Amino acid sequence: MKDLPARRLLLVHAHPDDESINNGATMARYAAEGAHVTLVTCTLGEEGEVIPPALAALAADRDDVLGPHRTGELAAAMKELGVTDHRFLGGAGRFRDSGMMGTEQNERPGAFWAAPVDEAAAPLVEVIREVRPQVLVTYDPDGGYGHPDHIQAHRVAMRAADLAADPAYGTGAPHTIAKIYWNRVERAVVEAAFDRLRTTAPDAFPGIAAVDDVPGVVDGDEITAEIDGSAYAGAKAAAMRAHATQIAVDGPFFALSNDLGQPLLTTEYYQLVRGVPGAGGGAREDDLFAGLPEAGGLQEAVRDVASGSASGAGPGSASGVRAGSASGARPDSASGAGA
């Protein structure tokens, strides 16, 4: 078994491009610092709209080859972020992009939204038990903005975390993820960023998105961690540009296929929903691994479990936030994440 670095971060996302928009700076920072960063993407993003007219034939309603194309875009984005461990949930094409909420694509064969949660969680349990991350990042129960694949990614990630910790489930040594975070955006920060967009680049895009179109926007008191990725702003922007069918980047701003400009944030925000905060007195963490003991490499961790010195803890309970079933989705007009 390959030995991996002491710090191991797992991110679970719905479509190619979601990782770069939400966590690109965080991923680049931890990869550069020597942590092992694993990205699991749940679908190929087959139902996304296509921005460049020259590539319009890739779309699902034409040649339906957008998924394989986006696989290449994702590989290019990972190179920009310095991330070498990327997997598709269950293998590329196992689950198909479900489209926006309420569309016929939600129920088509293979749609991620229609998959039983335990069935979809099983391959993620295998990844968790292999990589043994201390930290997991995914969406909130609403998926950030109500897209069915984002909601399902939340459900699958949380369920897989529980199953991976259960010694009675499946094969492989059980593993409890010490800290689970949901993606967030601080309302005051994004409001100020939109003000800058309106002031400095009002004509950069045909229109400007609304604050509430941005996934995961919450008041500041819900934020428990902020990761300063300003040193990796260039890497994040380059990763987003790699997703050329989905994102148009213009300096510190970008737009999706709706042509509505929004800010490209390089400080990224999180809410700890499971585990012990690493910062005392209500202060925000500036490191997702804060408060965790220095961990050994992967081989050492597995040896400890096998010898019985590491307890096979059962599913952890959420601390202060119910992390079970997802809430009802908001209307699907939100525009802050690619499909």
Annotated binding site for Zn(2+): 15, 18, 150
Angle separating helix axes 18-32 and 66-81, nearest 10 degrees: 30
| C-alpha distances in Å from residue 125, one per residue of 68, 176, 321 | 25, 11, 22
What end-to-end distance do the CA atoms of the chain give, in Å?
35
Q: Which two tokens stand for residue 264?
A: 């490209």
Give binding residues as ranges.
15, 18, 150
The DSSP secondary structure of 270-291, one letter per residue, reads: EEEEES--SSSTTPPBSSTTTT
Residue 71 burial by Cβ neighbours in a 10 Å radius (0-12, 13-18, 19+): middle
Task: Provide the β-strand partners of residue 191.
Answer: none
The DSSP secondary structure of 136-198, one letter per residue, reads: EEE--TTTTT--HHHHHHHHHHHHHHHHHH-TTSSSS-----SEEEEEEEEHHHHHHHHHHHH
> Does an H or E element contain 8, and which?
strand 8-13
Largest CA distance in the chain: 63
C-alpha to C-alpha distance for 128 and 134, rounded to whole angstroms: 10
